[in-house]
Amino acid sequence: MQSTIAPRKFLGLQLSRSNNGVLFRKALSTTTPHKPSTAEFPHGALSYHWDTTEPTASQLVHASKFFNLQPPKFLWSAEKFKTMDFGGSPEICFLGRSNVGKSSLLNTLLSKRIAHTSSKPGRTRLMNAFAVGGREDNASNRLVVLDMPGYGKGGRAEWGKEVLKYLGKRRQLKRAFLLVDSEHGIKNSDKQLLALFQEHSVPYQIVLSKADRIIFPDNRKPSPEVLALRLAALRKTMETIKDEVEPDPEGDLLATGEVIACSSEKWVGAKRMGIDAVRFAMLRAAGLELKPKITLAKPTEIVSFDELEMS
């Protein structure tokens, strides 16, 4: 049985709730967005895997279909951990600083404007749960996604206490996804939350938001040389994050050995940057990903030593 997380540290880090989706300045457009013709864009460069396998094309397609097969469903909101509904479906949650783009990203991942967004931090005061995939009578094939109150500007100490209770006690929680701004990297408040993950055995994964601001800062297609430089800068950021979450490769690690960069707004070719990769990571955390087919070798005839001598 896990122990209750001490709220003092959470408050000391000023990890008070700031709005989950309140940080978003733009809601998803209901019209078809402009999709730049950059089919040659190396989408694989948006992920850095050092201790996980990169998803296959079929796994990414499956992840996209899982999140688009039917509309997501709002399940419940809870101000306090003790008032949360219980269920049998695996859960993952998203956390991040104010204005990191958490709710906007969730709306993109779930393909629906279901998480509340606002330009003013601190509006979202509840822990909100949404279901995607599966059916109510088949909880094992359904994923529950939680939009958690943000921390930092606009947050409140009491919100942080309840979030910590959820992280430390919720048995359905499979992984916490921490959003980090691609332009600014891990801040002190993020480091404090990472320390809490480690202290209280919370599995987690880092996702870099707003990656388009590094790759397409002026919203124009860069030359191949400029694109290579910008992708190298992004890779350096991801490698720095790896050093933050895995200072000792031999230690008991809770961090997933990969970092994914994404954008909730930017289309490259026919897809948004990194979105299907994040969807796959969410499914893999819950054990709902498409499992690769394993081809077994054909059995071979075993010849005894005596038979060898007789031949």
Q: Are 156 and 16 in contact (CB under 8 A)?
A: yes
Is the residue at 274 inside a domain? yes
- 35 versus 169: which is more confidently predicted? 169
Q: What is the CATH number of the domain that holds 68?
A: 3.40.50.300
Is the residue at 54 inside a domain? yes
Distance, CA of 171 to CA of 145 (rounded, Å): 14
Domain count of the fold of the chain:
1
Q: What is the pTM of this model?
A: 0.81
If you average pLDDT over residues 209-214, what whole number do you get? Answer: 95
Is the residue at 2 inside a domain? no
Question: What is the signed CA dihedral for 260, 263, 268, 269, rounded to 10 degrees?
Answer: 80
Distance, CA of 74 to CA of 72 (rounded, Å): 7
- Amino acid 308: pLDDT: 64
* Residue 18 pLDDT greater than 90, yes or no: no
Is the residue at 136 inside a domain? yes
- Amino acid 138: pLDDT: 67
Using 50, 70 and 90 to split pLDDT, how confident is the model at 185? Answer: very high
Is the residue at 43 inside a domain? yes
- Amino acid 15: pLDDT: 44
Q: What is the pLDDT of residues 225-246, one digit of tens each?
A: 999 999 999 999 999 999 999 8
Q: Are 234 and 45 in contact (CB under 8 A)?
A: yes
* Residue 17 pLDDT greater than 60, yes or no: no
As a whole-number percent, the residues of the chain with pLDDT over 90 amount to: 58
- Amino acid 35: pLDDT: 45
- 3 versus 20: which is more confidently predicted? 3
CA distances from 291 to 53, 60, 284, 288 (A): 12, 11, 9, 8
Distance, CA of 186 to CA of 197 (rounded, Å): 15
Partners of residue 144 on adjacent β-strands? 91, 131
Is the residue at 1 inside a domain? no
Across the chain, what does the average pLDDT equal? 83
Distance, CA of 252 to CA of 231 (rounded, Å): 31
Show the domain range for 182. 7-310
* Residue 264 pLDDT greater than 70, yes or no: yes
- 159 versus 254: which is more confidently predicted? 254
Is the residue at 239 inside a domain? yes
* Residue 273 pLDDT greater than 60, yes or no: yes
If you average pLDDT over residues 42-46, what whole number do you get? Answer: 95
- Amino acid 311: pLDDT: 56
Helix extents (H) in 51-151 = 57-68, 102-109
Is the residue at 237 inside a domain? yes
Using 50, 70 and 90 to split pLDDT, how confident is the model at 248? Answer: confident
Secondary structure element (H or E) that encloses residue 9, with its range: helix 7-12
- Amino acid 263: pLDDT: 97
Q: What is the pLDDT of residues 81-133, one digit of tens each?
A: 999 998 889 999 999 998 899 989 999 999 999 887 655 554 557 899 999 99
Structure tokens at 188: 């002190």
Q: Are 160 and 107 in contact (CB under 8 A)?
A: no
Question: What is the signed CA dihedral for 193, 142, 274, 251, rounded to 10 degrees?
Answer: 40
* Residue 23 pLDDT greater than 90, yes or no: no
